[in-house]
Amino acid sequence: MRICYFIQNHLAPRQISRLVGTLRRAQPDCFILVGHDGFAGHCTADELRRALDVDVFELREPGRRGYFSLIQPYFDAVEWLSARGISYDWLVYLSAQDYPVRPLKELETLLATSGCDGFLRYWEACAPVNPWGRPRQGRCRYLYQYREAPRWAAPALRVLRSLNGVQSLVHFHLVYGPRVGLRSRGSPFGGDLTCYAGTQWTTLRRACAEHAVERSRGEPELLRWFHGTICPDEAVVQTLLLNGGRFELRDDDLRYADFTGSRDGRPRTLTADDLPSITGGSHYFARKFDIQGDARVLDLLDARIG
């Protein structure tokens, strides 16, 4: 069995270099592909390729939180692998701020014996009870079509945001930049198509990942709809896979993250003080880490995973 790790990066080489080195030592036969956001300005794809000695492709546009550009590299990676005939059995989707928290031989054993086709978090996006803890979150994200507002309009939208609770035709959104959404009767969801949500980071069997890409090509209207939503990176793959009923999927992304106190959807940066929580469950990776702020936690994880 061969695992492919696709790592999405917008940082300078130092942190991702440590992640790549750890993956290589643990699994010398794995394939590593990096999608690099050179628009962030830390380095170019060529500079990163030379620093890491792995395959790197440049993102086609800046990765923006809350926009489709954050998940587009995943679709591009699956097509990149297919076009070059790269052999792999599972595709593990990581960010450069992820790190293993258990020996990766244990991950190999899980993938070989689970009988599953994929590990990803999922739930019905518009269900009244959901992990977000906000009944309207899914409807506000995925049943409206949003247009970006100019930055100078943000103060006015903060005032107008009070209208979100008293009407449902227009939604004013500020978390991922100022946007105005209109509720549309043309939503693709309902009937035979359910909108599912979850988290961006997945571990999928090759056939599963390629099926998601094939369905995305075959349903351009659905993809266009997701381009106009909030955080499509947390819904599009789940929606493409779960509606088909073709695959055995487990509601577990195998990752640890701590969103305590988060007001903008960002997980808290983990430190050595978090080691008991990071390693105390059944997780295989954790995020996010900052090697500039606390490299000791990675040293401790290296000692644990060998």
In a domain, 100, yes or no: yes
260 residue type, one letter? T
The pLDDT tens digits for 167-187 are 999 999 999 999 999 998 889
Distance CA 64, CA 70 (A): 6
Question: What is the residue-averaged pLDDT of the chain?
Answer: 95
More confident of the two residues 194 and 261 = 194
Segment 217-241 shows an average pLDDT of: 97
Distance CA 75, CA 90 (A): 15
Distance CA 102, CA 120 (A): 18
Q: Is the pLDDT of residue 131 over 80?
A: yes
How high is the pLDDT of residue 157?
94
pTM, 2 dp: 0.96
H runs (alpha helix) in the chain: 13-26, 45-52, 72-83, 104-113, 137-142, 154-160, 206-218, 220-227, 236-242, 275-279, 296-305
How high is the pLDDT of residue 94?
98
Q: Is the pLDDT of residue 132 over 90?
A: no
Q: Is the pLDDT of residue 134 over 90?
A: no
How high is the pLDDT of residue 261?
77
User: Do 149 and 281 belong to one domain?
Assistant: no
β-sheet with 255-256: strand ranges across: 98-100, 285-287, 255-256
User: Do 203 and 297 belong to one domain?
Assistant: yes
How high is the pLDDT of residue 265?
78
- β 118-120/122-124 pair status: unpaired
How high is the pLDDT of residue 245?
86
In a domain, 190, yes or no: no
| Contact criterion met (CB below 8 Å) for 16 and 96 | yes
User: Do 120 and 232 belong to one domain?
Assistant: yes
Segment 180-206 shows an average pLDDT of: 94
How high is the pLDDT of residue 166?
93
Distance CA 46, CA 55 (A): 10
Q: Is the pLDDT of residue 104 over 90?
A: yes
In a domain, 138, yes or no: no
Among 144, 143, 141, 153, smallest CA distance to 177 is for 153
How high is the pLDDT of residue 133?
83
The pLDDT tens digits for 75-86 are 999 999 999 999
CATH value at residue 91: 3.90.550.10
Region for 88 from its dihedrals, namely left if φ exceeds 0, alpha if ψ lies in -120 to 50, beta otherwise: beta
Segment 89-115 shows an average pLDDT of: 97
Q: Is the pLDDT of residue 232 over 80?
A: yes
How high is the pLDDT of residue 83?
98
Q: What percentage of the chain has pLDDT greater than the value 70? A: 100
User: Do 160 and 292 belong to one domain?
Assistant: no
How high is the pLDDT of residue 181?
97
In a domain, 234, yes or no: yes
User: Do 67 and 203 belong to one domain?
Assistant: yes
Burial class of residue 29, CB neighbours in 10 A (0-12, 13-18, 19+)? exposed
Phi, psi dihedrals of residue 278, rounded to the nearest 5°: -65, -40
Number of domains in the chain: 2
Q: Is the pLDDT of residue 302 over 80?
A: yes
The pLDDT tens digits for 255-284 are 999 988 777 778 999 999 999 999 998 999
Q: Is the pLDDT of residue 118 over 90?
A: yes
In a domain, 212, yes or no: yes
Q: What percentage of the chain has pLDDT greater than the value 90? A: 90
The pLDDT tens digits for 136-166 are 999 999 999 999 999 999 999 999 999 998 9
The model's confidence at residue 306, banded by pLDDT at 50, 70 and 90, is confident
For residue 28, the enclosing domain spans 3-124+195-305
User: Do 33 and 170 belong to one domain?
Assistant: no
User: Do 232 and 113 belong to one domain?
Assistant: yes
Distance CA 124, CA 117 (A): 20
How high is the pLDDT of residue 17?
96
| Contact criterion met (CB below 8 Å) for 127 and 138 | yes
User: Do 7 and 105 belong to one domain?
Assistant: yes
